[in-house]
Structure 1
Amino acid sequence: MPVFNENTAFINLCCQEGSEGSAFNPAKYNNQDYTQLKNYYMEKGRLFVDSSFPPNSCTLGDIPYLNNWEEDNVVWLRPADLMKRQNNSDEPTFCMDGASRFDFGQGGISNCWFLAALSSLTFSRDLMVQVVPMNQSFVDYAGIFHFRFWRFGKWVDVVIDDFLPTMNNELLSVFSKGRNEFWVPLLEKAYAKLCGSYADMNFGIPLDACKDFTGGVSMSYQLKQVHSEGHDEELWLTLTRATQCLSMICCGTAPKGGSYENTVSHNGLVAAHAYSVTAVSEVECLGSKVRLVRLLNPWGGQEWNGKWNDKSDMWNSVSPDDQQKRLKQDDGEFWMELEDFCDNFAMVWMSCENPNFTDGDLTCQWKCMIYEGSWMSGKSAGGDKSEVLFETNPQYRIQVATNEEKQPGDKNLMVSLMQKPQVKRSRTRFYPISFTIVKIPPGTPEGRLELPFFYMNSCVRESDYFIYERELVELLSVESGEYVIIPHTRNAYMDADFVLTVYTKY
């Protein structure tokens, strides 16, 4: 039977419960079975060492901020050994008093994009326990842990040992504010294993990590464009719906002067930096409604100092109930007005298990189909519609059934095209990708469609632009009927693997 979740009104027709790669039965990354490995090392009375991601310089990678002398002084320690060197007599714990966005701060790796997404993840308990199995501990300990991520259509279970990179008896990368809590550094190591190394986590966008934490729907918005076109109302409604749906929401500031260095501006914001959106709220100030956005800097400090900051006198002009929202700790979390948010941040990304946050229709249902495919030179890499080989591209025929209550303009089809990395994350070259959608007239024969068909029938979605990113997502309004979706690169003969995900509302 298809997976159906009444809370999300979502039917996944591909990842059926119990099938390998589903949330209930993730595939074993590198064919490593966590349970078998742990039992083996427990019986032998030994601690696990992960030969596929060993505690050495290859796993660390070439981190730009470390010179050769510093790299040579990186020491890999298990949590208990690290705490001994810190003269900490407490016992190491996996997760203490529940996971929180305040549990950690960014370290020496430029992975604010990953940590901003992780902060957002802590708001959804269901997703949190899916990614971070909470039945792990340092009791019945064998030096082995595991975490789960959604990777290109399937959930995978990633096994690691608990050797962590340290320098001067401190964690080199993300640090736990609790000093003896290690779920975040261990999770970071598991994700670094997926990326190829710790260095391969340098720089990125939160959308990638959000996708890998949810396997759901991701959307991005250019804030300055939204604001300049007068779409603040629509943006606010989308942010409100997204928070109500427990979506993961992150945002980022633009680079300053063409440099991706994290310089601190006069207003306290960090350039070329990712933040998480942790709440939105509307307050009444001096007789007017003010829309506020709450953000968190993954550094664990360094906050906005403009209007509505923690010490702003503007909080004195709101009701006593609203004054309770005022943040009084230097923990990296702060409020700012929606207009300032649009002026100072370049992008906002939202990710949720299902598309409902896009239009607020929480009563509808969505069907999801996931297709894995490839572009292969001389066979199925036909380029865009101007190429004579266009018909050789992969073709996917789908049916869209429109609800009778559908209003004109209602979005009822969402398409995601994601290309898989070819090598390690930091060395991946993404091709320019797009997709074309054409409605199929009744009576058209089954099977592949040839080139004349695409010239004789108008496109519902024309590939008029391409992106050089991991994922392209588009939300459309279409009539009921049959359609063909053709994912493609700009030019022919480009070899790559991809995942096409199609969501249809009914």
Structure 2
Amino acid sequence: MPLLTPFRCRCKLGRKEAVEGSSQLPQQNYEALRERCLREGSLFEDSSFPATRSSIGSGPLLKKLPPHLQWKRPTELHSNPQFYSTQAKRLDLCQGVVGDCWFLAALQALTLHQDILKRVVPLNQSFTEKYAGIFQFWFWHFGKWVPVVVDDRLPVNEAGQLVFVSSTYKNLFWGALLEKAYAKLSGSYEDLQIGQVSDALVDFTGGVTMTINLEEAPSNLWDLLAQATYRRTLIGCQTHPQQRVLENGLVNGHAYTLTGIWKVTCKYGPEYLVRLRNPWGKVEWKGDWSDSSSTWELLSPKEKILLLRIENDGEFWMTLQDFKTHFVLLVICELTPGLLSHEVGQKWTYTVQEGRWEKGYTAGGRLQSPRDIFWKNPQFLLSVWRPEQGQRSLKPCSVLVSLLQKPRHRHRNRKPHLSIGFYLFRMDNYRDGQRRLPSEFFWRNVPLSKPEEFLREKEVSKKLWLAPGTYLIIPCTSEAHQESEFILRVFSRKHIFHEIGSHSGVVFSKEIVDQNEEQNEFVTKLFEKYPEINAVQLQNILNHVTLSGLGNTQPLFSLEACQGILALLDLNASGTVSIQEFRDLWKQLMLYKEVFHKQDTNRSGYLNWLQLQAAMMEAGIVLSDNVCKLMVIRYGGPNLQINFVSFVLLMLRAENMEDAFQNLTQDGKGIYLQKSEWMMMTLYT
């Protein structure tokens, strides 16, 4: 690599950006800055977020820093630095000295969905090709996707170890750089010390968050989790306040990522398990179903081998009941709000409106007395109806309202969130959509919905069931004369939405495109018919589903192939797959279809050994040339090419074997199996 000299970006900020309290980021063109660095043979230095203590902050975080803090680039820290690796399949991030477990719990949830991750973290960045010391990330920032540019100078101690977020794979740096970009967006690393999992989840996705108080958890919590883990959701959770490590291994006042669920079959009956991960990358639960618990002996050998991973990596299993007992909040973030509705195949539309509470004009506060100034708050008119039945239908409509407040300072924690909420009124016989409603309206009408309490949160949301008609939404702060900007989002089947008295006009709802919606509907309807599926039924289902993108010839699954698939998925040796097991299979099929189609460049419906190797590598399985050639001989036809059905069988088996090895190895080099376990793994799978 040629020797590069530093290049300092001296951005000219406009007057708005230069003001201390502004929440605006400097405008930086990533492509132009990188090209300039490459042209001048220099490495980028970001003067808007410099490698100094000013970027770390001025509060308690400074006391946690090592005495001789240095800033170094990944190329100075490792001989072979990599930005990201698809082979690092396990959650590989560990928290540093910043108290941002909430951010890291959300980030780890993001890693479970590669398509969402790629939106935030462009994975084509590297330390070799066109490397100029500059990286870019994207965040959903109050209604818009915004790019954040950073240089790659990271704070390290004297030993060259990262002080903040790091990876268990010491040559991977995407997590540390993403944390730096989020710190820049938030004002400083210090501003990441306090936050909510829901805040980061929204910033990563622009999705809708649903927070469940586990002390008042619904009776169908397991069903909600089953739907959530299958759909495009990110899930985090938080323990009770007052941070400290408990005797049971949990950390109070801490955020975790929910990484999976599984219904196991014990000798005494079914048990419902959830899998969690501590962002520290260590310190685990010590109760039932922990790594060292004797409860694992209640399972079949295969189920135990594929689920139990004995390693202090921060990831562990526990029962749903223990989860409800020891955790206080569950946060589910979905890209579309279909999880909040029980209607199968429901298509959602949305609108976004910006507004502000301004002292003396629109900061009316809560509804307190008949002659208060509540009426001065921004007023939004909403008309909803069911599209398939027209506006005259009286059947209730599912509506989700989300209110987000913008930060009131460039540093997100410099000024705390205001307590916010919204009221909803029915508008019978209302005709004039441009005149604001006077105070008399609020004397005479009782709200249909009002805040149970005003929350000091970035976002408050509520699901409503409304009869078709016209409504009035009033977003407000808990006290009058408090100033802030906000965003009001509405999701429903069909609606129109606008602010009364504004010049923006009526805003019609836009349809949310959910590529997984047909798949979700298919799976849901399927298990209304088949609670459990055997090999014959599995063959019938797979051969009657159109797998688009595989050329003109649709794959034909034989009974033998379906028996093989069932054996790989059927952990408790029941001879059937449950809805959870089939959901996992369906997710894997979609991934395998994508990578198979990408490598099948001539659309023949087959892969040779080189294409097979590339497809497996993209799916996260690395095989040597010789092993790939053997797999084509084993799973392919006489022409030494492998079709999609055989590719599915190979991938499922490879995934199973890799999981089994990772769960059983103590040092990453070898494993020990009893004869019965060896026979189970080699013969049944």
Q: TM-score, normalised by structure 1?
A: 0.87
What is the count of residue pairs matched by the alignment? 462
From 377, 380, 383, the equivalent of 1:399 is 383
From 393, 404, 415, the equivalent of 1:418 is 404
Tell me what 1:17 maps to.
none
Tell me what 2:358 maps to.
376
Structure 1 residue 452, shift from structure 2 partner = 1.8
Structure 1 residue 303, shift from structure 2 partner = 0.8
From 72, 75, 79, the equivalent of 1:80 is 75
Q: Deviations over 1:309-349 (max 9, x none)?
A: 12222122123443221222221111100110011011111
Change (3 A) 1:411 1:400: closer
Change (3 A) 1:416 1:187: same
Structure 1 residue 71, shift from structure 2 partner = 6.0
Q: 1 CA distance for matches of 2:70 and 2:395?
A: 58
Matches within 5 A, 1:344-363: 344-363=326-345
Structure 1 residue 417, shift from structure 2 partner = 0.8
Tell me what 2:82 maps to.
93
Matches within 5 A, 1:62-81: 62=58, 64=60, 66-67=62-63, 70=65, 73-81=68-76
1:102 paired to 2:97: no
Larger radius of gyration: 2
Per mean C-alpha deviation after superposition, the further-off stretch among 179-188 and 404-413 is: 404-413
Q: 2 CA distance for matches of 1:176 and 1:125?
A: 17
From 425, 441, 455, the equivalent of 1:467 is 455
Change (3 A) 1:410 1:439: closer
Aligned-residue sequence identity (percent) comes to 39
Letter in 1 for 2:249: G
Change (3 A) 1:494 1:39: same
Matches within 5 A, 1:59-458: 59-62=55-58, 64=60, 66-67=62-63, 70=65, 73-83=68-78, 90-97=79-86, 100=89, 102-139=91-128, 140-168=130-158, 169-226=160-217, 231=218, 233-255=219-241, 259-260=242-243, 263-323=244-304, 324-386=306-368, 388-402=372-386, 412-423=398-409, 424-447=411-434, 448-458=436-446
5+ residue gaps in structure 2? Answer: 1-23, 495-685
Q: 1 CA distance for matches of 2:246 and 2:110?
A: 28
Structure 1 residue 438, shift from structure 2 partner = 0.9
Tell me what 2:618 maps to.
none
Q: 2 CA distance for matches of 1:344 and 1:464?
A: 25
Contact 1:100 1:122 in 2 (8 A): no
From 471, 479, 482, the equivalent of 1:491 is 479
Structure 1 residue 82, shift from structure 2 partner = 2.4
Contact 2:396 2:468 in 1 (8 A): no
Structure 1 residue 462, shift from structure 2 partner = 2.0
Letter in 2 for 1:76: W
Q: Deviations over 1:85-129 (max 9, x none)?
A: xxxxx3211112356452221111111111110110011111100
Change (3 A) 1:455 1:402: farther
Q: Deviations over 1:140-171 (max 9, x none)?
A: 11110000000111110000000001112111
Letter in 2 for 1:351: C
Structure 1 residue 405, shift from structure 2 partner = 8.3
Contact 2:395 2:467 in 1 (8 A): no
Q: 1 CA distance for matches of 2:326 and 2:473?
A: 37
Change (3 A) 1:472 1:443: closer
Q: 1 CA distance for matches of 2:40 and 2:348?
A: 49
Structure 1 residue 402, shift from structure 2 partner = 2.7
SS at match of 1:47: strand
Tell me what 1:36 maps to.
32
Contact 2:91 2:111 in 1 (8 A): no
Contact 2:120 2:138 in 1 (8 A): yes
Contact 1:113 1:209 in 2 (8 A): yes
Change (3 A) 1:313 1:454: same
Structure 1 residue 409, shift from structure 2 partner = 9.6
5+ residue gaps in structure 1? Answer: 1-27, 84-89
Tell me what 2:16 maps to.
none
Q: 1 CA distance for matches of 2:345 and 2:139?
A: 28
Tell me what 2:497 maps to.
none
Higher relative contact order (CA 8 A, sep 6+): 1
